[in-house]
Amino acid sequence: MFARIWCLIHTNCRATGASLRKTLLLSETRTQRSRDLSHNLRLMATNDVIPDRARAVLEYWFGPDYVTADDTFVPRDKMQIWFRGTPDVDQSITEHFGGDVQHMREGLYDSWREGGPLSLLAGIILMDQFSRNIYRGKPEAFALDNKALSWADLAAETGADRSLPAMLRYFAYMPYMHAEDLAAQERGVELFRAAAEAAAAAGPAAASAANALRTALKYSEAHRDVIAKWGRFPHRNAALGRPSTPEELSGLADGSIAKF
């Protein structure tokens, strides 16, 4: 009897050990595949042949170090430009990139869409960011939003977004935050959440980027909530010549509707 029990235990232990080894092997395989994917995606960005004007956009927005950036890259000296639009910044962008935004409107830079992750991102920044600086308070500020969103969709669908360092990836998703479409807003929330989690997983050195993306996620959720309730951004009504409802006017006046 003892021999039988020992045999059963021994057999079960061997089975458990084999199962554990199989689980560990599968885990290692998945980890390696994830590393390989990350490596391949990084190569996509590294091998991107960037047009001169696309390079100028990226250098202005991120500084020259974007070329060697990883998830630890946070160009703090650029945040004043990103998040606190001033007349001086608007004027600078108009002088340096007004012609480029017009070329994008005319389709002359559409080849950037197929050029690689960095060229794609440069186009998104032209349409989604620089248009707002150049045409602040005017309908033209939003004229390229749908096109920018289609480029952001391409980045997300092809994985080009994941080849970008965290703070560059941030701006690949901004067209979702600016979209007056609930499905796009929901997608943006998902993408910002995934980017924040990826930056956090990169370790303590990427903590600043992870925090920035967590903040972006909160703003993305806030934008989503406005669209979910109102179907549009009421604060844009004046610039776009749209009549506001009494409820919108009241909400804008008392601050219950955010003026992003």
Mean pLDDT of 61-86: 94
pLDDT of residue 180 exceeding 70, the answer is: yes
One-letter amino acid at 10 equals H
Least confident residue range of 7-11, 69-73, 119-123, 138-142: 7-11
What is the C-alpha separation between 135 and 126, in angstroms, rounded?
A: 12
Mean pLDDT of 9-29: 47
Residue 8: per-residue pLDDT: 40
What share of the chain in percent tops pLDDT 70?
82
One-letter amino acid at 227 equals I
162-171 pLDDT per residue, tens = 999 999 999 9
Residue 49: per-residue pLDDT: 84
Query: What are the extents of the domains in the chain?
Result: 1-47, 48-254
76-105 pLDDT per residue, tens = 999 989 988 799 999 999 999 999 999 999
* Helix, coil or strand: residue 75: coil
pLDDT of residue 236 exceeding 90, the answer is: yes
Confidence of residue 15 (pLDDT cuts 50, 70, 90): very low
Residue 95: per-residue pLDDT: 98
**For residues 71 and 41, which has the higher predicted lDDT (pLDDT)?**
71
**For residues 37 and 235, which has the higher predicted lDDT (pLDDT)?**
235
Say how many Å lie between the first and final Cα of the chain, rounded: 77
Residue 110: per-residue pLDDT: 98
**Is residue 50 within 8 Å of 116, Cβ to Cβ?**
yes
48-254: CATH topology? 1.25.40
DSSP assignment of 146-196: HHHHHHHHHHHHHTTGGGS-HHHHHHHSHHHHH-S-HHHHHHHHHHHHHHH
pLDDT of residue 4 exceeding 50, the answer is: no
Q: Which of 243, 191, 253 minimizes the C-alpha distance to 221?
A: 191
